[in-house]
Structure 1
Amino acid sequence: MMRLSDPQWTVLAPLIPAPVKPTNRGRPRRPDRDVLDGILWVLRTGAQWAALPSEYPPKTTCHDRFQEWNERHVFPAILAALYELSEEAQLLDLREAFIDGTFSAAKKGARTFGPTKKGKGTKIMIMVDASGVPLAVHTCSASPAEVTLVQDTLDASFGLDFPERLIGDKAYDSDGLDADLAVLGIEMIAPNRRNRRKTQDGRSLRRLKRRWKVERTIAWVQSFRRVRTRDEVKAENFLGMVQLACIIILLRLISG
């Protein structure tokens, strides 16, 4: 079973807001920890809500609570708080960051997806720090080129600080992107495509050897089957699942 550890819950509990309309009518509200454990079971297994084992609260309770938190933007707020905790614990290294995108196949009925050679799906953009700690996550249709999604990914950053250098593969080789990031004080490092003039210093390109860190983080995110394959009809619900996966990754780093 997928359950939060006591140290993880100690970190997370103060970050979960009280219900909007507390009421004394009807059945008592199920504890947030129990419900979140049920949501995490769906996130980890990729199973339908109806398949929730009896050890967890009912499917409607878990789904409704997930919907409530997602609509109230609770997950981005938690990510921002965990970012600050990571800074305080000196877990972040913003001297350089890595960016990459991955593909999640969208099942029938999903909204806001794009056709690609792999089929219809959603693109997940991830930025991590020099150690592979998640800094930002953004989801969109799979059709746009990754070079056009960098600014949106930066806008989705969990914190306010930008990295000194942003490192990507050839997909991010663009004079326009270089110029836009330079305004923000970010140096874009990406190998030039064959049809492009040489604009990168060979010494800077050595940093590409560490791109495995963002690939490792992507593998961590995709270990949650609800993220690997998109079942959510609404794009905002799928983003909520991806954000929740990042929350668990950050919790593991912070709580040890």
Structure 2
Amino acid sequence: MRLTDEQWAVLVPLIPKPVKRTNRGRPRHPDRAVFDGILWILRTGAQWAALPRDKYPPKTTCLDRFKEWNELGTFPRILAALYEMSEDQHLLDLREAFIDGTFSAAKKRGADVGPTKKGKGTKIMIVVDANGVPLAVQTASASPAEVRLVHDTLDASFGLDFPQRLIGDKAYDSDGLDEELATLGIEMIAPNRRNRKKTQDGRPLRRYKRRWKVERTISWLQSFRRVRTRDEVKAENFLAMVQLACIVIPLRLVS
């Protein structure tokens, strides 16, 4: 995939300026061409060595720039800016938000890789607004239950105000979580598990029928093969790939 002129116009002010070099050498490859090369890796899931040399800058250039931007916090900064743009254009609906997790199989060892019945992997946690726009994303070991990852996911938001209601599946049915989120002004809505006393009545649970919105967003994320299967050893690099995938979704809306 390649960025359109309109999309790049949104991103270019958010890309860090290169450090001026005093020594002579080859000209720096344009940021746009490098960004397109990184997006190609994200979409195809291919190894960096497979990057088409006739279409994109060299693999080492794209990989080094990806690491450079990640170390500078570029991707979270872009997400925060896109969040503000979406809010200014009235594209966000925070009356309710949806939370869910998805599994990404890990090819290699590394931090935030844990065993499950599906094999070893990493959990991607995401919160979306009522329109399915990503509001927060976090990665963690696939071993812990999702109910234990809610706070860290909310803390990884892109600058949002807390939603009025947070809707999840039965994995989020917990009295402790309900009480903790209530102190933040958030109503947790989740169907009760079979062995639990009913704490949700029919009226709030009608909102659960709209949970397909977060499932749709996860489906979009999983269309990026570098997200569907974790190939990065370093957890921060995998999180950056997930953040990059999240950038594409609101970028299509604001540009």
- Equivalent residue, structure 1, for 2:31: 32
1:231 maps to a residue whose letter is D
**2:242 maps to 1:206:** no
Q: 1:108, CA displacement in angstroms? A: 2.3
The answer to whether the Cα contact below 8 Å between 1:110 and 1:231 also exists between their aligned partners in 2 is no
Partner deviation per Cα, 1:161-199 (whole Å, 9 max, x = no partner): 010000000000001100110011000000111111111
SS of the equivalent of 1:100 reads strand
- Answer yes or no: is 1:178 the counterpart of 2:178: yes
Partner of 1:231: 231
Residues 78 and 247 in structure 1, CA contact (< 8 A), matched pair in contact too = yes
Aligned runs of 1:216-227 on 2, under 5 Å? Answer: 216-227=216-227
User: What's 1:43 paired with?
Assistant: 42
Contact 2:97 2:167 in 1 (8 A): yes
Paired with 2:200 and 2:36, the residues of 1 have a C-alpha distance of 47
Q: Which residue of 2 aligns with 1:61?
A: 61
One-letter amino acid of the counterpart of residue 7, structure 1: E
After superposing the two structures, state which structure 1 stretch, 128-137 or 101-110, moved more. Answer: 101-110
- The percentage of counterpart residues that share the same residue type is 81
1:6-41 Cα distance to aligned partner (Å, 9 max, x none): 11001111111112x321421111111000000000
Give the distance between the partners of 1:133 and 1:160, measured in 2 at CA: 12
Cα distance in 2 for partners of 1:88, 1:160 equals 13
Is 1:126 the equivalent of 2:126? Answer: yes
Runs (5+) with no aligned partner, structure 1 = none
Q: Deviations over 1:215-235 (max 9, x none)?
A: 000000110000000000100
SS in 2 for 1:30: coil
How many Å separate the matches in 2 of 1:190 and 1:121? 25
Give the conservation status (yes or no) of the 8 Å contact 1:116–1:143. Answer: yes
Aligned to 1:15: 14
Say whether the 8 Å CA contact 2:108–2:232 is kept in structure 1.
Answer: no
CA distance in 2 between counterparts of 1:166 and 1:78 reads 24
In structure 2, the residue matched to 1:72 is 72
Q: Is the 8 A contact 1:99 1:167 kept in 2?
A: yes
Q: State the distance in 1 between where 2:100 and 2:181 align.
A: 16
Give, as a single letter, the amino acid of the residue that structure 2 aligns with 1:59. K
Q: Structure 1 stretches (4+) deviating beyond 4 angstroms?
A: none
How far apart, CA to CA, are the structure 2 residues paired with 1:232 and 1:108? 7
Query: Are 2:119 and 1:102 aligned?
Result: no
Whole-Å Cα distance in 1 between the matches of residues 189 and 114 of structure 2?
A: 28
Alpha-carbon offset, residue 159 of structure 1: 1.5
Matched, 1:149 2:149: yes
Code of the residue aligned with 1:32 in structure 2: it is D
CA RMSD of aligned residues (A): 0.8
Deviation per CA, 1:56-108: give whole Å up to 9, x if none.
Answer: 00000000000001111110011001000000000000000000000000002
SS at match of 1:211: helix
Aligned to 1:187: 187
Partner of 2:247: 247
Distance 2:13 2:51 in 1: 26
Count matched residues: 253
State the AA in 2 paired with 1:175. D
Q: TM-score, normalised by structure 2?
A: 0.98
Deviation at 1:110, TM superposition (A): 3.4
- When structure 1 is superposed on structure 2, of 191-200 and 228-237 the one drifting more is 191-200
Deviation, 1:111, is: 3.3
Q: Give the Å deviation of 1:112.
A: 2.5
In the TM superposition, what is the alpha-carbon distance from 1:253 to its structure 2 partner? 1.4
- Deviation of 1:113 (Å): 0.2
Return the letter of the residue paired with 1:211: R
